[in-house]
Amino acid sequence: MNLRKVVFLLVGAGICIPALGGVRNAESVNSPDGKVSVTVMGDSLARYEVRLDDQLMIEPSALGLVTNLKGGGILTLDSVSEVRLLTDRYELPTGKRAVVDSRASERFFHFGRDGRKAMDVEFRVSDAYVAFRYKVYPQGETLCAVVSEEDTEFVVPENTRAYVCPQMSPMSGWARTAPSYETHYQVDVALDSLSRVAAPDGYSFPCLFRVGDAGWMLISETGIAGDYCASHLDYEGDRIFKIAYPDPAEQNGFGTTGAAIALPGYTPWRIVMLGKTLAPIVETTAPWDLVEQLYVPSLDYQYGKGTWSWIMKMDPSCNFDEQKSYIDFAAEMGYSSVLVDALWDTQIGYEGIEELARYGRDKGVSLYLWYNSNGTWNDAPQGPRGVMNDIVKRRKDMRWMAQNGVRGIKVDFFGGDKQETMRLYHDILADANDYGLLVIFHGCTLPRGWERMYPNFVASEAVRASENLHFSQADCDLEALNAALHPFIRNTVGSMDFGGSALNQFYNSKNKPDKGSQRRTSDVFALATAVLFQSPTQHFALAPNNLDDAPAWAIDFMKSVPTLWDETRFVEGRPGEYVVMERRAGDTYYLVGVNAGPEARKLTMNLPTSQGVVKGELYTDDAALAGSVKTVSLNRKGQLKVVMPAEGGFVYKYTVE
């Protein structure tokens, strides 16, 4: 065994093996409903294990940090706090439910040295997740530390299978913009196929696991506010996953890996979301339960729907006339924004943007403007470059945007998880709030609790998003598969700016079969993903030609679909095969499904009709993926029966009378 794995805290050059103080060898903390439990063991090394309904989900796994704190001596588990029940009610208007009630059991495990506090491990155990973080105390006059590595492990049981995305290698990919969380999933794979060759840089959060028949687990982290690096999971073999800090080569090798913290200081929360079924995972609020709002919103932010020329027409469309036509298109759809993508600084100019902003204002349409994140860590030539990474320049541009009524920014190509980079996200968000601007990130890391922490945060890409449908037929061929994965994995822990719901058959500016990739999924599928893929602002991949060439019922649906949700419910599904979910906005329910195939799927769903008659519009596909809509009413005992063909879907938009 690697020596480092048996130490709880490596202090300077000394190796500390925890001995026990006045506590027993193992202490537990149970969830409020008693079904989830964590046991922390402090015998020869500090470890924890997690159980669900008495079944082991995380086998004894190491805890520990490697720091540069000086000193020495033996670290002992000195005491364990009483278990305290924490309850909270908070608003999360841009997430999967508008009001969240959370409860968890909290317990601190205090580790010390020579009678002095060194570190706590704080656990919160809810009915649907286990979260923990480390708190490091000052040592004498030492009030800061560098955490260079973390020994935290997640040892999964024997029969576990994985649904994971390899972390992209640093400075790889287009214009050396990676890592940006845009790899293909490895779906339902045995652990022995998770090789270092396939994923030399480990796996991006979140990582989904099926533990035999015992249940499901989604592992991630939350609560990074520029004060820590972001992590991912390395697979060490022998069923051991371990927290890994960023690769030193990220950001062109500039900036350190690891984290610098003031003392007392915390690591981010490590979270294991778990359930016998997938419902507690799909419906989880763990990433937000564990964080706090960092500042007050400077505006009553408006989200909503918008149009976006780039997805069908690419860089050349970022010109004044085309953007004007997309403002007209947005107005016709009743949408409130247009996303003006890269190169506007040279192809439209600042004065041209001011004119577009005025033109849009008269039609109730605001602008989002694209920015490159930097000028120093990628080769992406698109401008504006070198603005968002410089506090003086970005605040100057933000002031100009505020003066012209611009609604938000989309900042692209970050390519890294170093603390240095996480601080840039934090700084951009905080500055943007000063100027009443919303923020979308692309080419970026996974958001970690940011919907609650930063009230002007909209969503991040951090997914193999719609641009790849344009770039490659292979991605179009996998569109249904990926749509049946995101609701269980990526979108579960953060708003996702996918830029989807195309109604073009072909990804080109004229929707003609002469070039580009071809969409294989149905129009109803596109409608369903407008609900499945959650983000409070949606710039859909629609094009003005869809007003003429798409079915009227599809356009009407896309005009009215909400982007903010009061409630989200998982109905049924299996990652990579199919998914059925329901979201509610006000008194209207959107029950939607997509089927990755290969076979058609017959569904019989019991709707919550206890309050009365269910009445709604049912959008379905026939075997040839031709869609239609009809009014369907169900009585009190009503069941809804639907057939979803492969690469098709359904939507039942209903109210209860």
**Binding region for Ca ion (CB under 5 A):** 443
Nearer to Ca ion, 175 or 430 (CB): 175
What's the sign of the alpha-carbon dihedral 273, 279, 280, 283?
positive
| Region for 282 from its dihedrals, namely left if φ exceeds 0, alpha if ψ lies in -120 to 50, beta otherwise | alpha
Largest CA distance in the chain: 77
What is the smallest separation between the CB atom of 94 and Ca ion, expressed in angstroms?
21
Nearer to Ca ion, 225 or 424 (CB): 424
What single DSSP character describes residue 600? -
Three-state DSSP state, 103: strand
Nearer to Ca ion, 444 or 644 (CB): 444
* Contact call for residues 273 and 125 (beta carbons, < 8 A): no
Nearer to Ca ion, 223 or 443 (CB): 443
Which tokens is 158 given? Answer: 């024997």
Give the Å distances, CA to CA, from 80 to 22, 27, 75, 123, 464: 9, 8, 14, 11, 44
- Which uninterrupted H or E stretch holds 165? strand 160-166
Instruction: Say which residues have a Cβ less than 8 Å from residue 381's Cβ, sequence separation at least 6.
Output: 175
What is the smallest separation between the CB atom of 375 and Ca ion, expressed in angstroms?
19
What is the smallest separation between the CB atom of 503 and Ca ion, expressed in angstroms?
22
CA distance 427 to 213: 44
CA distance 77 to 142: 22
| Region for 188 from its dihedrals, namely left if φ exceeds 0, alpha if ψ lies in -120 to 50, beta otherwise | left
Nearer to Ca ion, 408 or 645 (CB): 408
DSSP per-residue letters across 526-565: HHHHHHHS--SEEE----TTHHHHS-HHHHHHHHH--SS-
Nearer to Ca ion, 259 or 342 (CB): 342
CA distance 242 to 5: 11
What is the smallest separation between the CB atom of 467 and Ca ion, expressed in angstroms?
6
Nearest Cα to Cα of residue 463 among 177, 163, 185: 185
What is the smallest separation between the CB atom of 445 and Ca ion, expressed in angstroms?
12
What are the φ/ψ torsions at residue 347 (nearest 5 degrees)?
-90, -20
* Contact call for residues 46 and 64 (beta carbons, < 8 A): yes
DSSP per-residue letters across 220-258: EEE--SSSS---EEEE-STTEEEEEPPPTTTGGG-S-SS
Number of other CB atoms surrounding residue 550 within 10 Å: 20
* Contact call for residues 651 and 628 (beta carbons, < 8 A): no
What is the smallest separation between the CB atom of 59 and Ca ion, expressed in angstroms?
37
What is the smallest separation between the CB atom of 177 and Ca ion, expressed in angstroms?
8
Residues pairing with 585 in the sheet? 588
Nearest Cα to Cα of residue 488 among 187, 59, 126: 187
Nearer to Ca ion, 443 or 494 (CB): 443
What is the smallest separation between the CB atom of 160 and Ca ion, expressed in angstroms?
30
What is the smallest separation between the CB atom of 6 and Ca ion, expressed in angstroms?
41
* Contact call for residues 295 and 436 (beta carbons, < 8 A): no
Nearer to Ca ion, 408 or 443 (CB): 443
Nearer to Ca ion, 184 or 510 (CB): 184
What is the smallest separation between the CB atom of 194 and Ca ion, expressed in angstroms?
25
What is the smallest separation between the CB atom of 624 and Ca ion, expressed in angstroms?
33
What is the smallest separation between the CB atom of 442 and Ca ion, expressed in angstroms?
5
Report the residue number whose CB is nearest to Ca ion.
443
CA distance 618 to 630: 5
Nearer to Ca ion, 155 or 178 (CB): 178
CA distance 303 to 634: 33
Scanning 435-544, the segments in alpha helix (DSSP H) are 450-453, 467-471, 473-477, 479-483, 523-532
Nearer to Ca ion, 443 or 648 (CB): 443
Nearer to Ca ion, 149 or 412 (CB): 412
Nearer to Ca ion, 241 or 377 (CB): 377
* Contact call for residues 495 and 441 (beta carbons, < 8 A): no
